[in-house]
Structure 1
Amino acid sequence: MPTRRAVTGRSREPRARFAEELRHLRAQRGESLRQLGDRLGWDWSLFGKMESGETLGGPEVVEALDQHYGTPGLLLALWELAINDQTQFRERYRRYMELESKATSLWHFAVSVLPGLLQTPGYAGEVLAAGGLKGLDLEQQVQARMSRRSLLEGDDAPPFRTILSEAVLRTPLRDAGEWRAQLEYLAGAADRRNVALQVLPFSAGFHGLMNVDVWYLRQPEGRTLAYTESGYRGELLEETAAVERLQLAYDAVRDLALSPVESRKFILRMLEEVPCDPST
């Protein structure tokens, strides 16, 4: 069901509403992102990420935008609503984490980003920084993400299957050395007895999971839950009919994916394309 819209025709979802207002105000001024960056003294790419909803920015830049556009307090109020909405997202995610820790098996599909369970510190750091984290907050989140990897380690680790869209592996890190380390980690993970890793090639075409990352968590009592996630929010699905529909979509995607053996070969071929550090 589409999101209900207010009488103004603008989004009522806090983060989307904030980004929409930023785009609207800049369009009214007739400014480019580069012009806005030059006038306010911030890198123009930050404003692009804020307008796309990729990041919310900090209070200092939002206050500067309020002053620039002559909207005293408006953007800061929308920013605070969006930040609060993100807090609610984190609460929902914490519940997901509890269910994940109890799961007897996990299935996963990735649209554009590797699952946290298979990320290296370098990869996690760049992904989280792109979302607006920095400093101590960034370090803490990277450490928290690394601690999750222990879920797949040990004799009692649950079976884990992930299907990675080829786009995930065609989006490298800026640091070639860190990207090489990530691909090597993936190749090693694919050898684990409890991990099944498959790549969905571009040649598979359109499919039923094109716009969302999905996790399927098999619980000890036998029921399966699904968790869908985008860059803006996550949703835990517990209704049997909804979960079954997503499972059918997952089964269809798995049929289109390369086998685990061919997928590991795919990753190793990608490793050959990454430049080696000439100092080593």
Structure 2
Amino acid sequence: MPQRLMVTDMSHEPRKRFAEELQKLRRERGLSLRELGKALGWDASQFGKMERGGTLGGPEIVQALDQYYGTGPLLLTLWELALGDPTQFKEQYRRYFLLQAEALSLWHYAATAPSGLLQADGYVREALTAGLAQGKDLEQHIEARVSRQKLLEGENAPPFRAIISEAVLRMGLRDKQAWRAQLKFLAEAAERPNVTIHALPFGSGMHGLSNTNTMFLKLPDGRTVAYAENDVRGELVEETERVERLQRAYDAVRDQALSPAESRMFILRMLEELPCEPST
């Protein structure tokens, strides 16, 4: 597996960091703006404006740049952070997003919502709308969130393990068809070679992560960090002792969860229990 990108000491202001990263990647390749435009089929002036911070561009051009430079979802992540109001993204959350883009492996416990890496389009739309996202940027945010799932695709995709509580699997969405699509998405994701999904049924007992969605990231420098969040706050945890304590809690939850094969069958049974939509 090729080494993933390391987070640098570049600007922490999202829009400026995005522009800096674009410029750095192009110069490292020894490309002029004209050569980059020719390679990707966009006008060179568009890339110039993006590198100067005059425009962010759209998700299509950013995805093309990620693919061209081999940066996974890094530029798309920076683009989404820059797209929103910078005040809504706390520094720790921005740093977590960037660390996620470089992670060698990831594992997650879902107490209230599936990991964003396992959310189908309809789930992302309802989640963003419930979070008061609206206006012309909503569709771009949705596309960026969904596109970030490319982190788990391809030959060099990192392994990802997810434990999902039954409460999450039974919460549902207002749009019943979107919820059906979400359960199908999870069942299909469970068949990928780098994705492992465990369901944690009701009655499994109390544990140390009961009310906390927690993501662990194994980084190229050998460290493991965690991001823990509930409905009101999130925290990037980097201290070794605290990360290890969370890791022990996660391991205990995994011991209580169903096996991957049992979990996929559990999800499929839930899908079968959904009432059929009336034909139109």
TM-score by length of 1: 0.67
Instruction: Name the CA distance, whole Å, in 2 between partners of 1:141 and 1:179.
Output: 20
Q: Which amino acid aligns with 2:208?
A: G
Structure 1 counterpart of 2:239? 239
**1:159 matched to 2:154:** no
Q: Is the 8 A contact 2:112 2:211 kept in 1?
A: no
Q: Which amino acid aligns with 2:172?
A: P
Structure 1 counterpart of 2:52? none
Structure 2 counterpart of 1:149? 149
Structure 1 counterpart of 2:189? 189
Structure 2 counterpart of 1:106? 106
1:82-231 aligned within 5 A: 87=87, 89-231=89-231
Unaligned runs of 5+ in 2: 1-84
1:255-270 aligned within 5 A: 255-270=255-270
Q: Which aligned runs of 4 or more in structure 1 are off by greater than 6 angstroms? A: none
- The percent of aligned pairs where both chains have the same amino acid is 62
Instruction: Name the CA distance, whole Å, in 2 between partners of 1:164 and 1:200.
Output: 6
Unaligned runs of 5+ in 1: 1-84
- Higher mean displacement: 133-142 or 172-181: 133-142
Q: Which amino acid aligns with 1:164?
A: I
State the aligned residue count: 196
Q: Which amino acid aligns with 1:279?
A: S
- Cα displacement (A) at 1:90: 4.1
Q: Which amino acid aligns with 2:140?
A: Q
- Higher mean displacement: 217-226 or 137-146: 137-146
- Cα displacement (A) at 1:178: 0.9
SS at match of 1:132: coil
Q: Which amino acid aligns with 2:269?
A: R
Instruction: Name the CA distance, whole Å, in 1 between partners of 2:226 and 2:132.
Output: 27
Q: Is the 8 A contact 1:226 1:236 kept in 2?
A: yes
- Structure ID, larger Rg: 1
Q: Is the 8 A contact 2:164 2:199 kept in 1?
A: yes
Instruction: Name the CA distance, whole Å, in 2 between partners of 1:181 and 1:110.
Output: 18
1:59-78 aligned within 5 A: none
Q: Which amino acid aligns with 1:126?
A: E
CA RMSD of aligned residues (A): 1.6
Structure 1 counterpart of 2:275? 275
Instruction: Name the CA distance, whole Å, in 2 between partners of 1:230 and 1:86.
Output: 21
